[in-house]
Structure 1
């Protein structure tokens, strides 16, 4: 997978209730790099954040409120709950497989993952790799609050808990997906990085974001996986590249221009073997206005802009994946079918070109 040459894959979420329907779509259009489907319409436990933080619920560090989960910092036994978490974490770090398994996502929170694994023996004949995903620490940290409704990311202790939990979930996912016998890609889904540089988040530093991402990237790589970082917004792309992932995934349809100021960093990333996942297929009703030809033209024009800044078109073609611009969990099933069909079509057209 060092040079994927325009293979197609997905970001993660799909708008189905039943995993079988989601997997049929994936196997049909993304046979070379299939992913396990996140199914947020099944309920809160399959939500983008909690899906990867179940040890915090188990130990009582997180509490489910009426509307959302929050850190139970107001609990009389908060210190004991925190100690129970760190005891579990240290056991997993020291090689206790049962402890590591508790950092995995349970079936009730990721039925798509478990169905994917059960179907794997008969459905991965064409696969060159399999893909999973985990929420990023910044996104999780600003989606969860403490008992005072302050974002958890601002609390150094809570941020540490989040990062450690996600890093161990990433380790567990890579090892679990590797049981399919295929190389594993694991993307860190981090839309929250877009807050960096905004005046209302001035205390969130580049160093904080980078250190947290590096911990997850290392957890993936140290366990034999290829790491990716995905963001579907205009962000400081140098942060993502400096974190050291094998793959940077972005919304090429709407935010390609945000890459241009980082052309130097991007050239270095590609020279080091880095892969770009081009989210060239829009994940909105705008996809109804597009076809393979129009999207391929847009992609070729973008490659032309990078070529004008010193990057080789052949390198861009060899070191690329083709994806939807973002997850599809909130769309209609009909749109999901069209988006995945176009993703496969654009990827095939690039390879044939």
Structure 2
């Protein structure tokens, strides 16, 4: 067993990233109120292009400008209004962060799209996906690494006393590895990327982020746990409903290696939440199957919604975040 020092305390909960609405200050107030031990910077895709995951990530690219086509985001020859709009959204988020949480002295999480999800979601100048061109993928990964480093430095300037966690969102990575990403025409699939190549690109981004604690989020099936650990992830964020028993060995190896688990325990869209004990039971069941002591669960596991909350109502967002927090505390108290 590897011993890891986690920046969060026992019984922690946090959000995945996205929220409904268009007001960054209001969204951040909700996060700070419901998730005081491990808040995060909410993302608001309802604001439109440039606030979506791909556009927001593309806005971080250094010397790789983008613009929006009817088919989606595409690399450009020079920066234009779409790039500026993405940067403006991010700047407003950081202004709200500094105003409302400038004195925060605990852990705080920010999120960025990962290199493989961006490569699958951004088009080359000629119109096909960046993922088709290995040279373009290398350029994008290097550009993103530089942009993420600058972003982390700027967040540190805004909240200098916080302990930063960097969550890299890679929902497309399993499909990239399996060769399931469609071509631009939709009539074929792009060639599968070999695991060592995927691992190296992700490692490049993680290493450039310095001492920000790296979390990789993947809410798709077939999470490549070993690859993510090899790339340097110190925590892996998944939807608990997509952790089948056949993945127990991979999850158990991850826990035994001292890597944190962020487990999604409530749906990302409006639903009637079950009783508190029932919310925590799938977490207990996973831990029983893995065979680790209960006290370790409270230290190594963070509870989250299953995915982002952009499609939820504001009322449900509060209820979901509160439920994650209450469930995490319940599991911690039961383990003690």
Question: Normalized against structure 2, the TM-score is what?
Answer: 0.84
- Do the aligned partners of 2:203 and 2:231 also contact (CA within 8 Å) in 1? yes
Number of aligned positions between the proteins: 313
CA deviations over 1:75-124 (Å, ceiling 9, x no partner): xxx6xx6xx9xxxxxxxxxxxxxxxxx99x733345333311221236x3
Cα offset for 1:54?
A: 2.6
Match in the other structure for 2:185: none
- Do the aligned partners of 1:248 and 1:276 also contact (CA within 8 Å) in 2? yes
Q: Distance in 2 between matches of 1:331 and 1:252?
A: 19
Cα offset for 1:299?
A: 1.2
- Do the aligned partners of 1:230 and 1:249 also contact (CA within 8 Å) in 2? yes
Q: Distance in 2 between matches of 1:241 and 1:209?
A: 12
Q: Distance in 2 between matches of 1:158 and 1:305?
A: 43
Cα offset for 1:321?
A: 1.3
CA deviations over 1:295-332 (Å, ceiling 9, x no partner): 1122111111111xxx3332232112111111111222
Determine which of 263, 266, 269 is the counterpart of 1:281. Answer: 266
Cα offset for 1:59?
A: 5.2
- Do the aligned partners of 1:283 and 1:326 also contact (CA within 8 Å) in 2? yes
- Do the aligned partners of 1:144 and 1:151 also contact (CA within 8 Å) in 2? yes
Cα offset for 1:212?
A: 0.9
CA deviations over 1:209-229 (Å, ceiling 9, x no partner): 111111111112x2x210110
Determine which of 247, 257, 279 is the counterpart of 1:259. Answer: 247
Q: Distance in 2 between matches of 1:258 and 1:24?
A: 40
Determine which of 299, 307, 313 is the counterpart of 2:283. Answer: 299
Match in the other structure for 2:215: 228
Match in the other structure for 1:96: none
Q: Distance in 2 between matches of 1:226 and 1:59?
A: 26
CA deviations over 1:26-71 (Å, ceiling 9, x no partner): 0111111111111100110111112132365x85742332452212
Match in the other structure for 1:151: 129
Q: Distance in 2 between matches of 1:201 and 1:242?
A: 24
Q: Between 22-31 and 175-184, report the one with greater CA deviation.
A: 175-184
- Do the aligned partners of 1:14 and 1:37 also contact (CA within 8 Å) in 2? yes
CA deviations over 1:226-254 (Å, ceiling 9, x no partner): 01100001122221122121111111134
Q: CA RMSD in A?
A: 2.6
Determine which of 10, 16, 26 is the counterpart of 1:21. Answer: 26
Determine which of 167, 172, 181 is the counterpart of 2:150. Answer: 172
Structure 1 unaligned segments of length 5 or more: list them. 73-77, 85-101
Cα offset for 1:146?
A: 1.6
Cα offset for 1:139?
A: 0.6
Match in the other structure for 1:89: none
Residue 67 to residue 333, structure 1, CA distance change in 2 (3 Å): farther
Match in the other structure for 2:73: 69
Cα offset for 1:165?
A: 2.5
Match in the other structure for 1:94: none
Q: Between 245-254 and 195-204, report the one with greater CA deviation.
A: 195-204
Secondary structure, in 3 states, of the residue corresponding to 1:232? coil
Residue 264 to residue 130, structure 1, CA distance change in 2 (3 Å): closer
Cα offset for 1:335?
A: 2.1
